[in-house]
Structure 1
Amino acid sequence: MLTYLIILVSSVFLGSNLIAVTSPVGQISIYRIFSLLVIPIVLLFILKDRKAFKIRINSYATGMVTVYIFWWIWAFCSVLWALSLGSWLQAMVLLTLGVSSVLGIFLWTNHYLQWRTLMKAVWVMLTFLSIWGLFEIVTNIYILADLEKLDKYSTFVTQPWTRIPITYLANQNDYATMLLASLPVNLTLMNTTKSNLKKLITLACILLSTFLVFQSGSRMSLLMVVLFFVIYALLHVRWDFPRKKIGLIFGIGIIVLLGMVTFVAPIRAMITDLIYILPRPVISGDVGRMNMWRNGLSYVGKTFGLGVGAGNIEVWMETFGTLPTNNIFNIHNWWLEILVGYGVLVFVAYVVGYGLMIYRLFDLRKYVNKPQRHTMNAFIAFLLIFIGASITSANNMLIEWHWVFFGLIVAYIKIMEAKVDEEKKRVE
Structure 2
Amino acid sequence: MVNELLFPRQNRLEHLFYFMIAFALLGPTLGIPLTEEFNLTFFRIAFVLLAGGLIIRWAMQKNLETVSLYPVRWYAAFFAFWFVYGVISLTWAVSIGHGIRYLIFLGMMMPLALSFPYFIHSGTNFWRTQRVLFWVFAAIVYFAVIESITLIHLPSSRAFGTDQATVTSVFTNQNDLATCITLGLPFLATALFMLDLEKKHKILVYATGVLAIYALLATGSRSNTFFALPLAGLALAVLVPQVVPREKLTKKNIGRALIALLAALLIANVLSAIFLSDEAREQARTKLASTLGFLLDINKGSWDLEEGGQEVVQGETGQSATVRKYLVLNGLRFLQDSHFLGVGPGNIEPLMQGAPKVNKVNMHNWWVEVLVNFGVIIFALYMFLYFWMLWRLYKLASLKHSPEVGPVIRWGATASMLALTGYFFGGMAPSTAIHFTPMWICYGIGLAVIALGENRKKQLMETGNREQAA
- Pairwise same-fold verdict (TM > 0.5): yes
- Does the aligned pair in 2 maintain the 1:13–1:125 contact within 8 Å? yes
Match of 1:348 in 2: 380
1:183 and 2:218 aligned: no
- Does the aligned pair in 1 maintain the 2:342–2:374 contact within 8 Å? yes
What are the within-5 Å matches in structure 2 for residues 41-120 of structure 1?
A: 41-55=53-67, 59=71, 61-120=72-131
**CA pair 45-178 structure 1, distance change in 2 beyond 3 A:** same
CA distance in 2, matches of 1:72, 1:29: 23
1:357 and 2:389 aligned: yes
CA distance in 2, matches of 1:379, 1:103: 15
CA distance in 1, matches of 2:422, 2:334: 28
1:276 and 2:303 aligned: yes
Secondary structure of the residue aligned to 1:272 is coil
CA distance in 2, matches of 1:148, 1:7: 26
**CA pair 275-389 structure 1, distance change in 2 beyond 3 A:** farther
What are the within-5 Å matches in structure 2 for residues 102-251 of structure 1?
A: 102-144=113-155, 145=157, 147=159, 163-187=165-189, 189-190=191-192, 191-223=194-226, 224-238=228-242
Paired residue type of 2:65: F
Shift of 1:275: 7.2
**CA pair 24-389 structure 1, distance change in 2 beyond 3 A:** closer
- Does the aligned pair in 2 maintain the 1:22–1:28 contact within 8 Å? yes
Cα deviation per residue 1:251-302 (whole Å; 9 max; x = unaligned)? xxxxxxxxxxxxx974872562497334268613212211111111111121
Secondary structure of the residue aligned to 1:36 is helix
Paired residue type of 1:289: R
CA distance in 1, matches of 2:421, 2:26: 26
Paired residue type of 2:444: G
Secondary structure of the residue aligned to 1:16 is helix
- Does the aligned pair in 1 maintain the 2:120–2:126 contact within 8 Å? yes
Paired residue type of 1:342: F
Paired residue type of 2:81: F
CA distance in 2, matches of 1:423, 1:391: 41
Match of 1:378 in 2: 415
Query: 10, 14, 19: which is aligned to 2:31?
Result: 19
Cα deviation per residue 1:124-170 (whole Å; 9 max; x = unaligned)? 11101111011112233334445599766xxxxxxxxxx43212321
Shift of 1:86: 1.5
Secondary structure of the residue aligned to 1:235 is helix
Shift of 1:40: 4.1
Q: Percent identity, aligned pairs only?
A: 20
Tell me, which stretches of 5 or more residues in structure 1 are unaligned?
Answer: 153-162, 240-263
Cα deviation per residue 1:78-105 (whole Å; 9 max; x = unaligned)? 2211211221121111111111212333
Cα deviation per residue 1:331-387 (whole Å; 9 max; x = unaligned)? 111011111111111111111111111010111232124453333222111111111
Paired residue type of 2:212: S
**CA pair 18-370 structure 1, distance change in 2 beyond 3 A:** closer
- Does the aligned pair in 1 maintain the 2:364–2:428 contact within 8 Å? yes
Tell me, which stretches of 5 or more residues in structure 2 are unaligned?
Answer: 1-12, 244-290, 466-470
* Structure-1-length-normalised TM-score: 0.83
**CA pair 125-143 structure 1, distance change in 2 beyond 3 A:** same
Cα deviation per residue 1:302-331 (whole Å; 9 max; x = unaligned)? 111221111111111125x3x321x21211
**CA pair 424-274 structure 1, distance change in 2 beyond 3 A:** farther
Count of equivalent residues:
390
RMSD: 2.7
1:293 and 2:293 aligned: no
CA distance in 2, matches of 1:111, 1:85: 42
**CA pair 69-188 structure 1, distance change in 2 beyond 3 A:** farther
